[in-house]
Structure 1
Amino acid sequence: MRDDPTTRLDGRRLAALRRRRAAPPLADAPTVVLDARGTTAARRVRSRRIAPRPSWLILTMVLVVLGGLLFVEAYANAAFVPGERTAPGSQREVPTSIVEGGPIVNVGAEGRTQSHRLPPRTVALTFDDGPDARWTPEVLRVLDKHQVKATFFVIGTQVVRNPELARRMVADGHELGVHTFTHPDLAALPGWRRELEYAQTQLAIASATGVRTSLLRFPYSSSADAYTDRDWPMLRQAGELGYLTVVNDVDSRDWEKPSVDAMLANATPAGTGGTIALWHDAGGDRAGTVAALDRYIPMMRQRGYTFTTVSEGFGRTLTDAGVTGPGAQVAAPRADRWRGDVLVGAVRAADGMFRVFGVFFVVVGVLTVGRALLLFVLALRHAYRRRRRDWSWGPPVTAPVSVIVPAHNEKEGIAAAVRSLAAGDHPGGIEVVVVDDGSTDGTADIVAALGLPDVRVVRKPNGGKPSALNTGVALARHELIVMVDGDTIFEPDAVRRLVQPFADPRVGVVAGNVKVGNRRSLIAKWQHIEYVIGFNLDRRLYETLHCMPTVPGAIGAFRREALAQVGGMTDETLAEDTDVTMALGRAGWHIVYEESARAWTEAPATLGQLWKQRYRWSYGTMQAMWKHRRAVLDRGPSGRFTRRCLSFLTLFGVLLPLAAPVIDLLALYGLIFLDRGETVLAWLAMLAVQFLTAVVAFRLDREKLGVLWVLPLQQFVYRQLMYLVLLQSVVTALTGGRLGWQKLRRTGELDLAARRGTA
């Protein structure tokens, strides 16, 4: 049988072959079948393991929810509203009775206006922009100390975030007024937006306190004589909605943070008339306000003033005029409380999500910078050590090598792959065993027709890649085993260079340098960058730390002894290369990377094909991590390897990619709602770290840097696809789904690209 280039195996002959070789028992994959009945059963079992297709509806719903929460967060932080107005306007349309009247304005039906002042020698303390978790309690403490009630014109978002303070104000006898939900320049908003600002603030107040108020103060307003034509429509609308619009008589100007004495002077009325005084309990450091307030109340009492709330003082004014006015605060309808609870829940959810995003942002930043530093230090150390003139693995390895090529429907590239292996320059000789795993496209016939020496074809029923590899190992003549994918082309010296690390008897596995051969398309260029940075540079790091998790299926070398020790290849995961590599690392074998052994593979040319490949890789890696998880508690080499390996895979293979979309989401959020310049600088800084890492990786791999022009574009398409792949893999794993083998379509374009050595 050794002289026959084509062999058909059945179960009896395979068992006899193994007995004659007296080889150590190798674990066969449970899907290996050697007759029609077994093939049918295996395929039936595998068909029940197929995972459901990705649910784009669920993904869309997740994105909509996240987008909605970001929208709510932006709205709650006033990202959509115009800021403070800067130029005064005309007053031709504003009635003289308002401009020359008091600080309390009531615009009735058909534009009839009433302007009111507080009774003489009364002061209403009013506070804007709260409640604030830091300073509102300090203001309340001073008011309670002097037994004074005040009016707080609150911002709706602040009430949502500090509901206990709003409840405390009402419980202590203070009153609330509406100061809008997000503090915009109302004159720059349409009428429906203004009404929405008032209504949402009322809902927030109703949810927190159970009351509603009829008092309203416009943001950026001052005294009555400052009303302009821009304010007149707002005044009319507020009156139609049942609000009393309140400005002030005196302004402490504490928002400018003057001295305490200056605040007292600003807030002191010139005569003995009633006064509405403007202060702030939020918006920055209010220590000066608290200190000034503590002096202002006794000072005004010494001048004969009494303190009141706006509604109480307004009520006295109406009583003096023989009119009875309604109270400013009444119980809110139950429906308003429910609606307010929904509004509060939405804002709190958005705030919570944003805080989580902030944590993720820090995590991503730390992991990204930490990974970059590790790569720079350890990968450069690895490269420097390998390139020293006196460095070597040991005496040249000239033992013969068996190359196993599992092939299932590989007609497009199998001939080029086998020719490249047969042309290898390894001095000990190369035996090529092509295991045709139930191909239906004539793959085995193509190889047999080549008529190459030392190339054998083994035909077997389809049982999966691990089964094909185990079959090839059982039939191989030599102790050094190289495993190669059926679409991979080796450079002439690749096998020779790949096996040189076996000069060190501690080395059990060697990873080669996989190159993307079809680099013409943009998708392929992105994968080329990923192979150089994400795979080859990482392998230098992993080798230095003795925790390499994966020897690539495209080019990897094994000692037969090592494979036998761990039971050979299994189909317990979809990443059989990662599974066996972890098993060998746990067994104490050294796993190394030989950068000079280069092989060219055909990368997926479409997004759909790329999705299938990476979905399988990602899911299979998670399976392998889960399979070996208990080894973190082992002692000796098994525990040391597993703890390092799984820690790095968890941090940089799962957590970092899952959290990394936060960078993009926050960048998009910042470009729309925050300071664009700072956002762009932060994003460019992150890109610069990636670009620097790419330059180092390409230099170490002796690759041309010209292709890196596509790196920025990679952030917008390719990286998003990888996010979705990992997310889908996590969902599949958590829901108990099982993923079937994802066979990719090949084009055969690799041969020309590899012979040129570039693309």
Structure 2
Amino acid sequence: MTTLHEELLRRNNFHTSSTRSWEAISGIGWHEPTPSELSLAAVRTLSVVVPAYNVSYCLPAVLDALEGQHHRHGFEVIVVDDASTDTTAAIAARHPVVTTVLRLPERAGGATARNLGTALARGQTVLYLDADMVLPPHVITDITARATDTTVLVGFRHNLPYDLHQGGRGVLAEHPQLGADHRVVWRPPVGRPLLYTGVTLTERLDGRPLDHTHDFVDLGYGQRYVDWDLPRMVVTCLVAVPRAAVLNVGGFDPEFGRIGWGMEDTYLGACLIASGLLVIPLRQVVGFHLDPPDAEQQWQRKLATWPGTLARYWDLMRRPAPTGRTHSFIAEVSELLRTCEVLRPH
């Protein structure tokens, strides 16, 4: 039986004809901010799924940015609180842009939170947005205008240290920079193993993954750019996917959340690519990622769990590519939904 890894070796990422066709129809560039009045922006429905854990320091700014979108059509915002110990759930429950708030009885991790949100979503497209990502006002229209049943639309992040954003105040007066994302400008360490592949570089590298792979086109057929491959470009801090495709592959693997941090989005990316979806970047879709006050300590805790989640990922890659799992996914998530507190009904 073909493994997930073997299936990726068969899949190209030739999305150029798709982006050029869209440009010809819309009259604007693929990477240009989209006018809110563009008729194509009304073609698909959208659900924003926000997993949230102890993000009271930044969640108001994130939700305010969603409320301030220039999009002329309705979209739903589903916040899944992962058993926070601060006021995260209360902030979400009282914000006018939020349509649904769930609270898990105990912490389960981002993968489980996103699965719950995906099960409740009514939109054809699901935008996974981290609860510390502040979006410029054109982003929702950019995504809804370009989304299809066969594409994964990838956005980017610009990290801001806490002492610069102080919970998000004044952030929207600035413009997030594309080059702040490691998938765009990447200067890896020399002399120590890289996180994903374990490759050790002996010389400095001025890495440009996005440019040097022609907007990820060259990452088809399992190709790599040093420590990056196509599944690794699917980062759920800001990524839009067809809901039906996520259900078909069984959603996120919840085991990642139990082990620690990372790789659940990479695994979802691998599953979606294996099922035939193209991964296309949107250079204009860049959000501010608002670091917490204890960012360095959190990062060290996350890195400590990385070997376990990476091992889980490669174990799954040696198994058959998942497909036909919609029914079982809905059944499993429905069982979990019964244990959740509903702070704002769907």
Band the TM-score falls in, shorter-chain normalisation: 0.5 to 0.7
CA contact (8 A) 1:516 1:531 kept: no
Which stretches in structure 1 are left out of the alignment for 5+ residues?
1-380, 639-759
Is residue 609 of structure 1 aligned with residue 269 of structure 2?
Answer: no
Q: 1:600 to 1:618 in 2, by over 3 A?
A: farther
Q: Are the counterparts in 2 of residues 422 and 455 from structure 1 also a CA contact under 8 Å? A: no
Amino acid at match of 2:105: P
The structure 1 residue matched to 2:251, chosen from 551, 564, 568, is 568
CA deviations on 1:209-255 (whole Å, 9 max, x unpaired) are: xxxxxxxxxxxxxxxxxxxxxxxxxxxxxxxxxxxxxxxxxxxxxxx
Report the CA distance between 1:414 and its aligned residue.
Answer: 1.2
Retained in 1: the 8 A contact 2:153–2:281? yes
Distance verdict in 2 for CA 1:510–1:432, change over 3 Å: same
In structure 1, what is the equivalent of residue 76 of structure 2?
431
Contact 1:435 1:469 in 2 (8 A): yes
TM-score of the superposition, structure 1-length normalised?
A: 0.29
What is residue 538 of structure 1 aligned with on the other side? 209
Q: Which residue of 1 aligns with 2:231?
A: 549
**1:390 and 1:413 mapped to 2: Cα distance?**
33
Give the aligned partner of residue 517 of structure 1: 160
In structure 2, relative to structure 1, the CA distance for the partners of 1:464 and 1:608 (3 Å cut) is closer
Contact kept? 1:516, 1:601, Cα under 8 Å: yes
- CA deviations on 1:490-517 (whole Å, 9 max, x unpaired) are 11111221343324x431x211121113
Mapped pair 1:440 → 2:115: no
Once residues 396 and 458 of structure 1 are traced to their aligned partners in structure 2, the CA distance between those partners, rounded to angstroms, is 32
Query: Cα deviations across residues 551-602 of structure 1 (Å, max 9, x unaligned)?
Result: 1121011101110110111123342111100111111111211111111112
Unpaired segments of 5 or more residues in structure 2? Answer: 1-15, 32-37, 165-176, 188-206, 223-229, 257-261, 324-346
Structure 1's 520 and 544: CA in aligned 2 closer, same or farther, altered over 3 A? farther
Q: Which residue of 2 is the match for residue 460 of structure 1?
A: 104
Native 8 Å contact 1:436 1:443 kept in 2: yes
SS in structure 2 of the partner of residue 534 of structure 1: coil
Distance 2:147 2:282 in 1: 11
Q: Contact 1:430–1:454 at 8 Å: present in 2 too?
A: no
1:606–1:564: structure 2 CA closer, same or farther, 3 Å change rule? closer
Provide the residue aligned with 1:155 in structure 2: none
After superposition, residues 41-60 of structure 1 pair within 5 angstroms as none
2:153 and 2:240 in contact (8 A); partners too: yes
Aligned residues of 1:488 and 1:554 also touching (Cα < 8 A): yes
Which of 581, 589, 592 does residue 280 from structure 2 map onto? 592
Aligned-residue offset at 1:459: 2.0
SS at match of 1:469: helix
* Corresponding position of 2:335: none
Rounded to whole Å, the distance in 1 between the matches of 2:162 and 2:56 is: 21
Q: Distance in 1 between matches of 2:90 and 2:144?
A: 30
> 1:425·1:492 contact (CA, 8 Å) conserved in 2?
yes
Distance 2:279 2:305 in 1: 23
- Describe the shift of the 1:390–1:555 C-alpha distance in structure 2 as closer, same or farther (beyond 3 A): closer
User: Whose relative contact order is higher, 1 or 2, with alpha carbons under 8 Å and at least 6 apart?
Assistant: 2
Cα deviation for residue 519 of structure 1 reads 8.4
Aligned to 1:705: none
- Please state whether the residue corresponding to 1:446 is helix, strand or coil: helix
Aligned mates of 2:181, 2:114 — CA distance in 1: 29
With over 3 angstroms needed to count, the CA separation of the structure-2 counterparts of 1:619 and 1:395, relative to structure 1, is: farther
Normalising by the residue count of structure 2, what TM-score does the alignment of the two structures yield? 0.60
Inter-partner Cα distance in structure 1 for 2:39 and 2:93? 36
2:77–2:97 Cα contact (<8 Å) kept: no
How far did residue 629 of structure 1 move?
Answer: 3.5
Q: Given the superposition, is the C-alpha separation of residues 618 and 530 from structure 1 closer, same or farther in structure 2, using an over 3 Å criterion?
A: farther
| CA 1:412–1:499: 2 relative to 1, 3 Å | same
Give 3-state SS (helix, strand or coil) of 1:396's partner.
helix
3-state SS of the aligned residue for 2:216?
A: helix
**How far did 1:538 drift?**
2.3
- Structure 1 residues 587, 529: closer, same or farther in 2, change over 3 A? closer
Instruction: Give the structure 1 partner of residue 11 of structure 2.
Output: none
Q: What CA deviation, in whole Å up to 9, does each residue of 1:50-72 have, x standing for no partner? A: xxxxxxxxxxxxxxxxxxxxxxx
- The 3 A distance-change label for structure 1 pair 493 and 578 is same
Counting matched residue pairs gives: 246
What is the one-letter code of the residue matched to 2:286? R
| Correspondence 1:121-520 to 2 at 5 A | 392=30, 396-398=40-42, 399-450=44-95, 452-462=96-106, 463-503=108-148, 505-507=149-151, 509-518=152-161
| AA at the equivalent of 2:101 | V
Please give the per-residue CA displacement for 1:653-695, whole angstroms capped at 9, x wherever unaligned.
xxxxxxxxxxxxxxxxxxxxxxxxxxxxxxxxxxxxxxxxxxx
Distance 1:561 1:618, change over 3 A: same
Give the distance between the partners of 1:592 and 1:618, measured in 2 at CA. 28
Among candidates 628, 634, 649, match of residue 317 of structure 2: 628
Secondary structure of 2:287 counterpart: strand
Counterpart check, 1:559 vs 2:242: yes
Amino acid of the residue matched to residue 564 of structure 1?
A: L
- With over 3 angstroms needed to count, the CA separation of the structure-2 counterparts of 1:414 and 1:520, relative to structure 1, is closer
Overall identity of the aligned pairs, in %: 24
Shift of 1:537: 4.3
Partner Cα distance (1:593, 1:617) in 2: 26
Q: Shift of the alpha carbon at 1:396?
A: 2.3
Counterpart of 2:147 in 1: which secondary structure?
Answer: helix
